[in-house]
Amino acid sequence: MIPRFVAEGIKGSDIYRFKEHIDNCASCKEELTIQFLSSEGVAHLESGTSFHLENELFEYMSRALKARQMTVRMRTLMIVYEIAALFVIASIFIYAGS
């Protein structure tokens, strides 16, 4: 999952499993650091901006987790709206029938 995470991020709830494993597995954390450095670090070298590996990796991980939380929140909101819409439709039918 590391190359995928570095290249495009991980979609869906897999991001939590990924984060959990990285936090608890030294060799995967090292692998992630190396791959992240070789992809993001090179981009920073080319643009000439400074690069703090640990901060950038932490930021990247935080953004991935936040994106996932937003998706879940949006989905929950949609379900709430759908239920509300169903109630409105149901009450119109009940009203029309009485």
Nearer Cβ to Zn ion (27/55): 27
Closest by alpha carbon to 2, among 15, 55, 44, 58?
Answer: 15
The verdict on 34 binding Zn ion (CB under 5 A) reads no
Residue whose CB is less far from Zn ion, 24 or 50: 24
> Which span sits near Zn ion by CB under 5 A: 21-29, 39-47, 55-63, 88-96?
21-29
Applying CB under 5 A, the residues found at the interface with Zn ion are: 25, 28
